[in-house]
Amino acid sequence: MKETVKKPVLAVGPFHPLQEEMEFYQLTLDGEKVVDIDMRISYNHRGIEGISEKLQFDQVPYLVSRVCGICSASHPLAYINAVEEIAGITAPERAQYIRVIVNELERIHSHMLWVGLAGHFIGYDTVFMWAWKYREPVLDLLEEITGNRNNYGNVKVGGCREDIPNEIIPKMLKELDKLEKKTAMLTKAVLDDPIIHARLKGVGILTKQAAIDYAVAGPTARGSGIAIDVRRDDPYAAYADLDWNVISQPEGDVFAKAVVRLLEVLEAVKIIKQALKKLPDGPITTEVKEIPPGEGCGRAEAPRGETFHYVRSDGGNRPVRHKIRAPSYVNVPSFKASCIGGHIADVTITLAAVDPCYSCTERLAVVDGHNNVIHNYESLLQLSREKTARIKKEIGAPEWKLEDI
């Protein structure tokens, strides 16, 4: 009889048409406390590393920009850093600056997307609407430069595909000024809010030691007090010429990660403005004849952390091996350290805090030992929001509804 008394298991995932990545989480619960987590990935394995070996060096950037819809500037750039390292090529200075501008615009829109969704998860839809509204002009700027709102395909070995016409620089600076003001306002509103403090502080803590053991990257590491950033540590493109700061917070909780991302948006605006003002004249590509035999490691700081590409060439026109590591590959397993011991109502926001892919949590179901579904995605989201409402009540915040405004 003993075997039938099982701890409830919470199944998260794996499929939803909106998901970028298919992931499956199985949480074991003791009451409302999470005691274990298991993960399964690769429901949508596309074999990109294998396809890459069948393409020519100059075709691969367009393939790897499809590794991720959001990081579609970082992956090609990391690949190109590796290939340029093998061939000993340096792209023209103007191209280096354009690479910085496109990558930082990507960082802004990705972080704004996260902030909005994080707000949605804890029942703060105003934050969601603000953040996504301010994100929109950034996508428009990217479209104006590269022709696409995502999947820019703007870098190639030895330079860039599309130039930034000097005529649009004043317009871009104006848009960035507007964005800076709005982001500063949003950052202050979010970071000063006592309810967000009460809801996110101390939740889903990833300690510094756990962050080292799981080798996490990007805002997940910087939120745990590890101030690493490839842009500063192993500078590529034009980052070494620009003045900006690496943001880090020691606490390791969800709030710290939110602070890091919000402040990084402001840093990104600062970087783009400088780059636009310093944008040197000249060509944007250099001629590349062939890639010699060799191996190279290319890195780029994607919005979610370090993107690493290893490329090996045998002197032919295709890579013989191309290894890709996206930051989520190391950030996602850190759930073992940050979720266990936590409360079930905090799971959605803790999983979301490393910015893996939100839609992954669209298919939550809690199953007990007799396989009866007792919670689904909506009810778990409800739990998360009720906790926020409870905190609001305790703090004595006014009960505002959208209709009252």
Partner 1 sequence: MKQEELISRLSEIKGKLIDIEHKANNRIFLMCEAENAYAVNKFLFEDVPLRFVIATGIDSDDCFEVLYHFSYDETGSVITVKAFIRDRENPAIESISPFLPAAEWIEREIHDILGIDFKNHPNLRRLILADDWPEGVYPMRKEVKK
Closest contact distance (angstroms) between CB of 234 and partner 1 is 3
Starting at the earlier edge strand, list the strands of the sheet with 294-302.
294-302, 305-313, 319-325
CA angle 342, 217, 58 (to 5 degrees): 140
Q: Which residues bind partner 1 (CB under 8 A)?
A: 41-42, 45, 47, 49-50, 53, 85-86, 88, 212-215, 228, 230, 233-235, 294-297, 299, 306, 308, 310, 312, 321, 323, 325, 329-330, 333, 336
Which of 129, 194, 192 is CA-nearest to residue 397? Answer: 194
The β-bridge partners of 9 are: 28, 367
Closest contact distance (angstroms) between CB of 331 and partner 1 is 10
Closest contact distance (angstroms) between CB of 323 and partner 1 is 4
Q: By C-beta, is 255 or 335 nearer to partner 1?
A: 335
Peptide bond into 17 cis (omega under 30): no
Q: By C-beta, is 340 or 383 nearer to partner 1?
A: 340
Closest contact distance (angstroms) between CB of 328 and partner 1 is 11
CA angle 56, 59, 61 (to 5 degrees): 125
Q: By C-beta, is 11 or 41 nearer to partner 1?
A: 41
Answer for the pair 302, 326: CB distance below 8 angstroms, yes or no: yes
53/72 Cα distance (integer angstroms): 19
β-pairing, 9-12 with 24-30?
A: antiparallel
Q: Which two tokens stand for residue 48?
A: 């990109």
Q: By C-beta, is 67 or 366 nearer to partner 1?
A: 67
Closest contact distance (angstroms) between CB of 14 and partner 1 is 12
Answer for the pair 76, 299: CB distance below 8 angstroms, yes or no: no
CA 340, chain centre distance (Å): 23
Closest contact distance (angstroms) between CB of 89 and partner 1 is 12
Angle 74-87/93-121 helices, nearest 10 degrees?
150
Closest contact distance (angstroms) between CB of 333 and partner 1 is 6
Q: By C-beta, is 49 or 241 nearer to partner 1?
A: 49
251/234 Cα distance (integer angstroms): 25
Q: By C-beta, is 137 or 294 nearer to partner 1?
A: 294
Q: By C-beta, is 227 or 367 nearer to partner 1?
A: 227
